Structure 1
């Protein structure tokens, strides 16, 4: 009998990446001293700081995996991985460029026209062009095939009508890549979908805030009220939207942000324990959390290596997202038990009680964003090899 397998492979980073890691840590130390890096949980979602993004870009750390001919760094996914895991572990404010760097840029590179590549990729790599994700809708969250946003052909291009939800950063960013239905004739729900690059400052785009439990304005409803687009707004070929989106999801679900969102809280806990007398039980529980973190990181590195080699990694990405986001929430609960502390939002920003409060208030989203874990387990199950 052949056991089920996800095809995950152990990955060892090349020795030269250690120099890159030291460079990033030195940069972060300077930023921390300047007060721009404060060890925030969920910094990739809520840490919108265009100035910080541009300083990263000046060092070649935005658009690292994009080709040099389009302004990118021409480096590999594993080198990019080293940079972003250091940024996330430090709780750096990276949300301004996060979607553009992680998936919009690679998607435009893969599916876009040459004009689209020349127009968007150099600006993404320079940290001056920011993107949101226009996938989810009220009745189409993890089930993206149920989208109702429509794109109708016009004499000059397309007209988009519909409402997207959970659109992070739409009130701040420049563009969104929107999934819309262009053909209802096929009986296949996954057919007839296409992607479009939509300017978020268009007067027929209306942004309505969705606030987190903390009161933060990160997500939005994104209303497309008859938005007129030129033919050059189409990303890829008509009807290829589903294939393109599923390719993006491997990038969206497998990265370090799926298990490092609450690691700054773990770091803060260790600092608190160092200042007092750490008991053997506390030491053991911190060790267990660190061991879990290390194992999930290896899975995530495996996906980065697969993507760099051009291998499909949908199942592995779903596994990373399932294990990683559950770890993020469970870490918060473990930390509260290891060192009982009153979580407070009304205290000094960056203090341990305030970081704990932030992590708790963000907890409901960890296993929802990027596809619910229930949906991901279905992907994993279908992708496993059946016993012979």
Structure 2
């Protein structure tokens, strides 16, 4: 790939009117559903776990939007889902329960799963009743997924799974994990010999331990597999094709609004304060313009990638670019808002709710450039994709 081909295929894209039309009813629902939530709680959004809320979204038809109707979905475009994700994040809705399944596990199964796997798992995902977590990172591997050591060995009609995963979001609350494992060779073989398997997290031999982060939350987990027996149909796609499959999966993960809207609740709360007499300063107005001017082109790039995903085209490099640019802005927002609030003298009295949201977002923001692929790994991917290394 030369230095221009990766991005030349992107064209400015608008959300179709029929998908934009979803916003009105969805906003009415979300306004009511989040009305009693504090800004600090809404700032957690896609790490906020609420199984009842996810089931309600499923009942209203907002999950599985892009899945075929024969599997419980709605057969709509990727832009319809984009609209729903934007609204959920802007309102700070608690989306974690269904998040992984709707965003990447379901699409991965649609692309590579057997017919039996699709019929077993996809309807529950669409109803907001079946929750998945992702088993990629491992100790001493991190974003270097090609060096994973967790191993699945064939034993008659079963697989025997042994190893460990870490930073597994909501592994203690999920029903299933899609794990990247080694089915042949060793970690020195890199991409060769990797496969993906579906792991029922209720099986004997599995231990899940939550990890408490700086914010006091415990949604990250480490997961241990001690000779876990998986049925033959746990394999997704072809044995040994796991690397190509996981690259496709990461394209779903890295290009959406969640990669630049994570700090949006804080931003909105701060904007509300800036509109008041106490918060309205020339410095704040300039900062608001700076943030908007950075968010707008990233959203445009994200929408262009959505068009590529809609056409089932590879967008690994472009998705990595959205993730890198987006998380940089997400991390800048709490730092810049803190500078604004604490540099205007003792007469300024920001609302306590705003300060609580700022505190949470500041503590959480270091993780933004780690999850979904660390910044250094992504920049290496981008450089290779553009022919720069």
On whether the aligned pair clears a TM of 0.5, the verdict is: yes
User: Which secondary structure does the structure 1 equivalent of 2:312 belong to?
Assistant: coil
Residues 34 and 91 in structure 2, CA contact (< 8 A), matched pair in contact too? no
- 1:125-167 CA-partner distances (Å, limit 9, x unpaired): 0000000000100121111010000111011210000000000
Moved more, 149-158 or 270-279: 270-279
1:9–1:42 distance in 2 versus 1, CA, 3 Å: farther
User: Which secondary structure does the structure 2 equivalent of 1:177 belong to?
Assistant: strand
Q: Which residue of 2 aligns with 1:4?
A: 4
Residues 103 and 248 in structure 1, CA contact (< 8 A), matched pair in contact too? yes
Q: Which residue of 2 aligns with 1:87?
A: 88
- 1:302-321 CA-partner distances (Å, limit 9, x unpaired): 11110001111001000000
Q: Which residue of 2 aligns with 1:346?
A: none
- Residue in structure 2 matching 1:340, options 339, 342, 346: 342
Structure 1 residue 350, shift from structure 2 partner: 8.6
Distance 2:227 2:112 in 1: 25
1:111–1:283 distance in 2 versus 1, CA, 3 Å: same
For 1:216-231, list aligned pairs within 5 A.
Answer: 216-231=217-232
User: Which secondary structure does the structure 2 equivalent of 1:275 belong to?
Assistant: coil
1:187–1:261 distance in 2 versus 1, CA, 3 Å: closer
Structure 1 residue 35, shift from structure 2 partner: 4.3
Residues 40 and 353 in structure 2, CA contact (< 8 A), matched pair in contact too? no
Distance 1:340 1:89 in 2: 25
Residues 32 and 38 in structure 1, CA contact (< 8 A), matched pair in contact too? no
For 1:145-224, list aligned pairs within 5 A.
Answer: 145-184=146-185, 188-224=189-225
Q: Which residue of 2 aligns with 1:76?
A: 77
- Residue in structure 2 matching 1:290, options 286, 292, 295: 292
Residues 39 and 90 in structure 1, CA contact (< 8 A), matched pair in contact too? no
Residues 39 and 350 in structure 1, CA contact (< 8 A), matched pair in contact too? no
TM-score by length of 2: 0.93
Structure 1 residue 215, shift from structure 2 partner: 1.6
User: Which secondary structure does the structure 1 equivalent of 2:215 belong to?
Assistant: coil
Structure 1 residue 230, shift from structure 2 partner: 0.6
Distance 1:91 1:216 in 2: 16
Q: Which residue of 2 aligns with 1:371?
A: 373
Distance 1:215 1:188 in 2: 38
Structure 1 residue 188, shift from structure 2 partner: 4.1
1:53–1:186 distance in 2 versus 1, CA, 3 Å: closer
TM-score by length of 1: 0.93
- 1:342-374 CA-partner distances (Å, limit 9, x unpaired): xxxxxxx99111111110110110100011111
- 1:82-133 CA-partner distances (Å, limit 9, x unpaired): 1101101111100000000000000111111111000000000000000000
User: Which secondary structure does the structure 2 equivalent of 1:65 belong to?
Assistant: coil
Distance 2:145 2:208 in 1: 21
User: Which secondary structure does the structure 2 equivalent of 1:33 belong to?
Assistant: coil
In the alignment of these two chains, the number of paired residues is 379
User: Which secondary structure does the structure 2 equivalent of 1:208 belong to?
Assistant: strand
Q: Which residue of 2 aligns with 1:344?
A: none
User: Which secondary structure does the structure 1 equivalent of 2:369 belong to?
Assistant: coil
Q: Which residue of 2 aligns with 1:279?
A: 281
Residues 31 and 37 in structure 1, CA contact (< 8 A), matched pair in contact too? no
Residues 98 and 130 in structure 2, CA contact (< 8 A), matched pair in contact too? yes
1:188–1:218 distance in 2 versus 1, CA, 3 Å: same
Q: Which residue of 2 aligns with 1:329?
A: 331
User: Which secondary structure does the structure 2 equivalent of 1:212 belong to?
Assistant: coil
For 1:223-302, list aligned pairs within 5 A.
Answer: 223-277=224-278, 278-302=280-304
Residues 255 and 305 in structure 2, CA contact (< 8 A), matched pair in contact too? yes
Residues 39 and 264 in structure 1, CA contact (< 8 A), matched pair in contact too? no
Distance 1:11 1:47 in 2: 31
Moved more, 34-43 or 328-337: 34-43
Distance 2:57 2:68 in 1: 17
- Structure 2 residue runs of 5 or longer lacking an equivalent are 344-350
Q: Which residue of 2 aligns with 1:127?
A: 128
Residues 171 and 220 in structure 1, CA contact (< 8 A), matched pair in contact too? yes
- 1:194-230 CA-partner distances (Å, limit 9, x unpaired): 1110011222110112111112110111001110011
Q: Which residue of 1 aligns with 2:145?
A: 144
Distance 2:333 2:117 in 1: 42
